[in-house]
Chain A
Amino acid sequence: MSSPFLALFAVFFAGPLIYSIVLSLRSPLTGAYTGLLNYRTVLSDASYWNAVVRMGYFGLVQVTVMIGLAIVLALLLDSPYCRGKKVFALVYFLPYAVPGVIAAIMWGYLLEPDLDSALGVPHRLGLTSGPLQPLDYRLALYAIMLIVTWEWTGYNMTILLTSLTNVPHEVLEAAKVDGASELSIAARIKLPMVRRTVIFVVVLSIIGTLQLFNEPVILNEIASIGSTFTPNQIIYTTAFAFGNEELAAAQSVVLAAVTIVATVAFYGIVRRRMDPFAATRAVVK
């Protein structure tokens, strides 16, 4: 019963994966085996590492803000102070149904002073020397953060909310009987209990950040923010604009390695700090 899946898995997943490693060891000029030459090129490519570092910074700021917001929204929807839980949960989740390309087009045009007259308001009030330019290359990174946060906060919130719903009722009741406030229930019981889920959505977000492609590509068409903004843009340009598939394969393999290192490092950090929650977790189990 597994054979149709396995056949396709071999041809369209395992095959390309192995092929990308083989390809990365070949010379772009002759196609002959060149050892680690392409990797040396990648390691000394400043624009590639600029893009990787840019994504590191992006991840630190955007993932923190987004997951923080998702946690707050999920806890509020799960609290007794919430009215209209179903409607809010639906609204937050809507962007999941919007392709990244379309999200980038909407926000890109909304952040363009020519199309969005609201960006000219500070200028007309005499506060700035011209209309706001959020897609200026110095601000473009933050514009992408705004878009990506818009796209994925509700998705993460949805995962967290489902996990919160599974917190055993008896535990919450016991805390209430003991006179715990809603805030301390949220911070000391609910949050530690969904800790694994929080770690899971952070890991997904780190992987997603390092693969950022759609939004910068579209914003580059709208406002020329640059074609080397993210590692994936560079890989695309190397392979399909310059036709250097061998170097692009090496860039892909390095990006995959960076992703794995970042994920493992994050796990390492959270594992070490896991102890404060061990007691609560023992109670739950």
Chain B
Amino acid sequence: MSAGGRLRGPVFGGSGTAFARRAKTTGTTAFLALAAVYVLVPIYWLVVASSKSQSQLFSTQTFLPPAHLSWASNFKGLFTFENGDFRWWLLNSFIYSSVTATLAAVMSTLCGYGLAKYRFRGRRVIFVLVVGSLMVPATALVVPLFLLEHFMGLTDTYQGVILPLLVYPFGVYFMSIFSAEAVPDGLIDSSRVDGAGELRTLWQISRPLLMPGIVTLFLLSFIGTWNNYFLPLVLLGTESRFPLTVGLSAWVSSISSVGAQPIYPEIILGSLVSVLPMLVLFPFLQRYVARGLSFGGITGE
């Protein structure tokens, strides 16, 4: 098994299969590395380009750092351009994502746990609704959602963006299966026998067992909200309430208007700032996120 790893010295001195194995390992690694380059090139470019001033962007080699790093002035530009709207966008993205993720994880857990652990009338109907709504394309809802929120006075508000995102059918589906597997019925029964109420059982007995699933849901919802564009674009009108995606796209489109300020460095650095926190945290979060995604793949039919 480990011959390829331990192989040393002249290849032809070894057996033919060892040579073939080593060739396959080299070929595999080369292909994997090539794919990694495809992924990393734009991210590398973003880091390098964010250090360039407006004139450096158009005069220096695309993939090489400039002679003088312009990060300091770019940061100043980013946080002061148009009254420093970018600071609001950063804060807003954080508010939208953390509030949505927290509430969506709690609500999906309550609903999914309820579906898995209690037998009540309408249980099957709810389950069918949840699974069926996984198949509705979200965009079919955007126009009527806008009109309904307009009617309720919710457009252009924080709650208007957050409330629709709390409806997270995948989360309910995920949590119903997760609780069925993670919390043995016997444990709940013995807690009841000991005289604990349902809520206390949920909090003290089930919650610790459900925690990994809750973390996964929180992360999926957080990333989904952070990356969302269509919904806040439609619902929001006031720039100081924009999340990063809507704000930066507004800057991108402002460049193409006549007599506009060339704000390429601000856009590029702003893009880096909006992805950096997640990219840095990702090695620690990957495991939880991957579990949530593959869930649909394994049980999703």
Contacts and interface: CB of A to CB of B under 8 A. Distances in A.
A209 B142 CA distance: 17
Contacts, number: 270
Nearest to B268: A109
B271 interface: yes
Interface residues of A, number: 97
Given A90-B282, A97-B223, A117-B61, A1 B113 contact: yes
B245 A101 contact: yes
A5 B110 contact: yes
Judged by DSSP, the binding face of A is helix
Contact of B141 (A13, A88, A213, A260): A13
A9 B252 contact: no
A260 B135 contact: yes
B143 A106 contact: no
B245 A99 contact: yes
A242 interface: no
A221 interface: yes
B249 A101 contact: yes
B158 to A, nearest CB: 15
A1 B230 contact: no
B29 A82 contact: yes
Interface in A75-123: 76-77, 79-84, 88-103, 105-110, 114-118
Contact of B249 (A82, A217, A260): A217
Contacts of B40: 91
Contacts of A108: 252
Nearest to A19: B144
Interface stretch (B69-77, B188-196, B208-216, B286-294): B286-294
Contacts of B255: 221
Interface string B30-68: 011001101111110110010000000110111100000
Contacts of A71: none
B25 A83 contact: yes
Contacts of A253: 140
Given A16-B148, A90-B283, A239-B146, A200 B111 contact: no
Contacts of B137: 207, 210-211, 255-256, 259
A222 B248 CA distance: 12
Contact of A5 (B57, B140, B172, B244): B172
A20 to B, nearest CB: 4
Given A1-B114, A199-B301, A200-B301, A110 B42 contact: yes
Contacts of B301: 196, 199-200
A83 B30 CA distance: 10
A100 B172 contact: no
Contacts of A116: 62
Judged by DSSP, the binding face of B is helix
Interface string A224-254: 1000000010011001100001001100110
Nearest to B38: A150
Contact of A96 (B63, B115, B223): B223
B141 A16 contact: yes
Interface in B243-279: 244-245, 248-249, 252-253, 255-256, 264, 267-268, 271, 274-275, 278-279
A23 to B, nearest CB: 6
Interface in A152-203: 153-155, 158-160, 162-163, 166, 182, 196-197, 199-201
A97 B136 contact: no
B13 interface: no
A23 B142 CA distance: 13
Contact of B139 (A1, A166, A211): A211
> Can you list the 8 inter-chain pairs with the closest CB atoms, starting with the nearest?
A162-B294, A1-B114, A99-B227, A5-B111, A16-B144, A97-B278, A19-B144, A20-B144
Interface of B: 1, 4-5, 21, 24-25, 27-29, 31-32, 35-36, 38-43, 45-46, 49, 57-58, 60-63, 107-108, 110-111, 113-115, 118, 126, 129, 133, 135-148, 163-164, 166-167, 169, 172, 223, 226-230, 234, 244-245, 248-249, 252-253, 255-256, 264, 267-268, 271, 274-275, 278-279, 282-283, 286, 289-291, 293-294, 296-298, 300-301
Given A17-B140, A79-B28, 4 more contacts: A98-B275, A105-B267, A117-B61, A235-B139
